[in-house]
């Protein structure tokens, strides 16, 4: 029997092992939604298409499986763009499905028409406009292959309404053959040997781990190498949890708001082993003074990253997991030296610190309490973007990969709450927290209706300081405290939560923090925790924009 394009789409998604779609219906995708009526796929109705894209992104980060989102043509499709750009910057596997006007109406400024393939070309790994229903199953197979292989990323499939209605024979392809796309790269033995030789000769090695460790499931190999050569490990924001932060070799995060000892170690090392990282500006600061005395090894699957931002001495182009495993076989165990003693001294002399006894409730204390109460659970910690995001990276102790879910490269306010919904859907037994600010939570606050409808017990910890905190901090430090449009009015978050059918708890004192968190974690409903925190608390340490890592402010 011949199937419609919509039915072929559903069958193809099932063949790919998809279990959940995050979406919002509309005229351009009515054929698809009609086909969804009779299938076993779980559809989560978000309240905005941007929420659908971020939820699919959070699902992908939490589970390691590609996220799928669905939107109608025109404004529905364009509302996905921020979510696609966010996934693209952070290399997250995503397949976005959009409706389009019928093929005979394309290019005629038809109702709810938008050139979504043209619009998303810069923020997707690849995209398709399907013009023949016979090509649909092949396109879907290719899309999932492209999204999940090599350096992962989002792929968009635009499906005109007549294509979703047209019938044809259905056969899902078993293999993919894309000319010129050979994403799996095995590093050359010569490069592995050069890297091993450099490690053998190093006195002060540091491993700088990026999100590629998590993408390639290489945490075990990373730990093996670090322990073998006694190299301290510092991670990017995207790599939090890939190396246990309670390990003696952990340096925590580096960069603009990294730990002082991570930044000192990178500045003083003689060998920097960068693995699955892209040397972004928030990590390097002034590239002229970044790891100035170090030989740099860069292990990555994407050749475009090699030497893009900093000079690289040894380029190991290949799959991170495979490259690390082979490197472990080639290097010898190292003995402790003065380098490890120096790192320990920096940790003792320059710890992360704050004073809960001075002023009001400190956001750092709240995050430490969340960390303590969830340390023996499977936890997924999502964040919005701002000061609270940096405090989460600093004061939550991450020990497992895929436990930290945050917008890195794009820095998308409004990301955290829908991503926490995606994480909770993908990991129903996990304790999920979204650490938010009173500004960023309002950007996608409508998704509280989604969490309530699907009975998702997401905990939202709002650091409520009455400011757009990170912008205020910059205006304080670099603009002579000329606060311009950073003081914000927020709703009563407790009443708002209750209006949606969720629970709301307000906390004003340190003694209330732990009981409130325990109450929230015991609830079967979504909970908004409104923490009234110190208004002008700053994130320290801080490397001024364009500054050197070893010249930090505060902390």
Hey, which residues are catalytic here? Answer: 49, 111-112, 161, 470
Report how far residue 412's alpha carbon sits from residue 54's, in angstroms, rounded to the nearest whole number: 10
Q: Are 384 and 445 in contact (CB under 8 A)?
A: no
Q: For the purposes of burial, counting CB atoms within 10 Å of the CB of 227, is it exposed (0-12), middle (13-18) or buried (19 or more)?
A: middle
Measured in degrees and rounded to the nearest 5, phi and psi for residue 378 equal -75, 115
SS3 readout for 356-402 = CCCCCCCHHHHHHHHHHHHCCCCEEEEECCCHHHHHHHHHCCCCCCC
Token pair in block for residue 9: 């789409």
CB 60 within 8 A of CB 94: yes
Cα–Cα dist 3/142, whole Å: 20
- Characterize the bridge pairing of strands 233-235 and 94-100: unpaired
CB 93 within 8 A of CB 67: yes
Q: Is 472 within 8 Å of 535 (Cβ atoms)?
A: no
Cα–Cα distances (Å) from 261 to 68, 165, 196, 232, 252, in that order, read: 40, 60, 26, 10, 9
Coil/strand/helix, residue 145: helix
Helix (H) or strand (E) holding 432: strand 431-437
Count the neighbouring beta carbons within 10 Å of the beta carbon of residue 547: 15
Q: Measured between alpha carbons, how far is 275 from 429 in angstroms, rounded to an integer?
A: 31
The answer to whether 387 and 542 have CB atoms below 8 angstroms apart is no
- Burial of 179 from C-beta contacts in 10 A (0-12 / 13-18 / 19+): exposed
Would you say 184 and 319 are in contact if contact means Cβ atoms under 8 Å apart?
A: yes
Please give the Cα distance from 122 to 173 (Å, whole number).
28
> CA 275, CA 501: separation in Å to the nearest integer?
45
Nearest-CA neighbor of 465 among 536, 528, 527, 410? 536
Residue 97 in contact with residue 69, Cβ under 8 Å?
A: yes
Pick from 460, 401, 465: nearest CA to 244: 401
Neighbours of 330 (CB within 10 A): 14
d(CA 209, CA 320): 10
SS3 48: coil
Q: What is the C-alpha R_g of the chain? A: 24
- Residue positions counted in the chain: 555
The answer to whether the CB of 382 falls within 8 A of the CB of 433 is yes
420: helix, strand or coil? helix
């Amino acid at each position: 029997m011949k199937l419609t394009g919509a039915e072929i789409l559903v069958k193809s998604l099932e063949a790919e092992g998809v279990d959940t779609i995050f979406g919002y219906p509309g005229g351009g995708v009515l054929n698809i939604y009609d086909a969804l009526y009779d299938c076993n796929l779980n559809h989560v109705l978000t309240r905005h298409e941007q929420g659908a894209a971020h939820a699919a992104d959070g699902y992908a980060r939490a589970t390691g499986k590609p996220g799928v989102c669905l939107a109608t043509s025109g404004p529905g499709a364009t509302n996905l763009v921020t979510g696609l750009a966010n996934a693209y910057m952070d290399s997250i596997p995503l397949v976005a499905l959009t409706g389009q006007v019928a093929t005979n109406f394309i290019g005629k400024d038809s109702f709810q028409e938008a050139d979504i393939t043209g619009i998303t070309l810069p923020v997707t790994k690849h995209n398709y406009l399907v013009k023949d229903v016979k090509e649909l199953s092949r396109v879907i197979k290719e899309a999932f292959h492209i999204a999940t292989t090599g350096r992962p990323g989002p792929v968009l499939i635009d499906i005109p309404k007549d294509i979703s209605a047209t019938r044809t024979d259905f056969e899902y392809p078993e293999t993919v053959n894309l000319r010129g796309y050979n994403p799996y790269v095995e590093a050359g033995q010569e490069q592995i040997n050069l890297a091993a030789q450099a490690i053998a000769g190093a006195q002060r090695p540091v491993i700088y781990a990026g999100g590629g460790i998590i993408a390639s499931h290489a945490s075990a190999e990373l730990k093996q190498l670090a322990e073998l050569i006694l190299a301290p490990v510092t991670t990017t924001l995207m790599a939090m949890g890939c190396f246990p932060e309670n390990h003696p070799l952990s340096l925590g995060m580096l960069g603009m708001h990294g730990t002082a000892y991570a930044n000192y170690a990178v500045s003083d090392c003689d060998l920097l082993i960068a693995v699955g990282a892209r040397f972004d500006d928030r990590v390097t600061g002034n590239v002229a003074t970044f790891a100035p005395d170090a030989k740099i090894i860069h292990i990555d699957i994407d050749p475009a990253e090699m030497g893009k931002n900093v000079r690289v001495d040894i380029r190991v182009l290949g799959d991170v997991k495979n490259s690390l495993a082979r490197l472990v076989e080639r290097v010898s165990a190292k003995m402790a030296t003065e380098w490890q003693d120096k790192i320990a001294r920096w940790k003792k002399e320059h710890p992360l610190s704050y004073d809960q006894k001075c002023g009001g409730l400190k956001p750092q204390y709240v995050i430490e309490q969340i960390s303590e109460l969830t340390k023996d659970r499977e936890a997924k910690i999502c964040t919005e973007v701002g000061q609270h995001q940096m405090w989460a990276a600093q004061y939550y102790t991450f020990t497992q990969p895929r436990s930290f879910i945050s917008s890195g490269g794009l820095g998308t306010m409004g990301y955290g709450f829908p991503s926490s919904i995606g994480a909770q859907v993908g990991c129903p037994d996990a304790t999920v927290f979204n650490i938010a600010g009173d500004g960023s939570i309002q950007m996608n606050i409508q998704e509280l209706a989604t969490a309530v409808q699907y009975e998702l017990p997401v905990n939202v910890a709002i650091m409520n300081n009455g400011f757009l905190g990170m912008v205020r901090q910059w205006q304080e430090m670099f603009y002579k405290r000329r606060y311009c449009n950073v003081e914000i009015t927020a709703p009563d978050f407790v009443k708002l939560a209750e209006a949606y059918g969720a629970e709301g708890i307000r906390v004003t004192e340190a003694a209330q923090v732990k009981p409130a968190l325990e109450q929230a974690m015991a609830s079967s409903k979504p909970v908004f925790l409104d923490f009234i925190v110190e208004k002008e608390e700053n994130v320290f340490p801080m490397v001024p924009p364009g500054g050197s890592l070893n010249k930090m402010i505060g902390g």
